[in-house]
Amino acid sequence: MTMPVVGYSFRRHLSKGSLTVPIRPILRYPHPGLKTVCAPVTVFDAALSQLADDLLLTMRAAPGVGITAAHIGVFQRLTVLELDKADRVRIYANPEIMWFTDETMAHMEGSVSMPGATDEVTRPKAIRFRYQDLDGHQHEEEASDFLAICIQHEVDQLDGIFWLQRLSRLKRDRLIRKWEKTKS
């Protein structure tokens, strides 16, 4: 069951047979935009809500559990997460990690910009972070386990750090070669 986001319109979800089409085109690796450091969101209006709506639908169509505005070529600090269909949709404007634990956790990661490519990345197991909601209100929360991993992954992308940069050079080169063979 899909959990709707209050106040959002899902009218633009397109489907062609069994193929779901993203609402917005996703930048594909190695697009230089994926290395762009995103600017802070400064205007909290209907256009930002529409962007969040488009991100959610694009992420679901990809499919994925997280997406940033940078993934669709909009270089603002906005990310959307939906860890699974039973979980709530989480929207973070200007997310910033304030603290992280020394304890780490390894998890398989990938990207909507590099479909089918995954590898194990080790990150802090718990974080404290702050963000703004779509109305511009400040929030501070703690996250652990998979949620903490996802937030760190998306904040990296907003900072222009594509997830492959978290791999050793050997693992990164091997994964890129494998991915390039599968996409051709």
C-alpha span between 127 and 142 (Å, rounded): 6
> Is-contact 18 63, C-beta < 8 A?
no
CA dihedral (128, 133, 44, 25) positive or negative: positive
- Give the distance, in angstroms, between the CA of residue 132 and the centroid of all CA atoms in the same chain: 16
DSSP, collapsed to helix, strand or coil, labels residue 130 as: strand
154 belongs to the catalytic site: yes
Nearest to 157 by CA among 116, 105, 114, 128: 114
Which among 109, 141, 142, 154 is annotated as catalytic? 154
DSSP, collapsed to helix, strand or coil, labels residue 56 as: helix
DSSP, collapsed to helix, strand or coil, labels residue 57 as: helix
Nearest to 129 by CA among 150, 103, 111: 150
Q: Which residues are catalytic?
A: 154
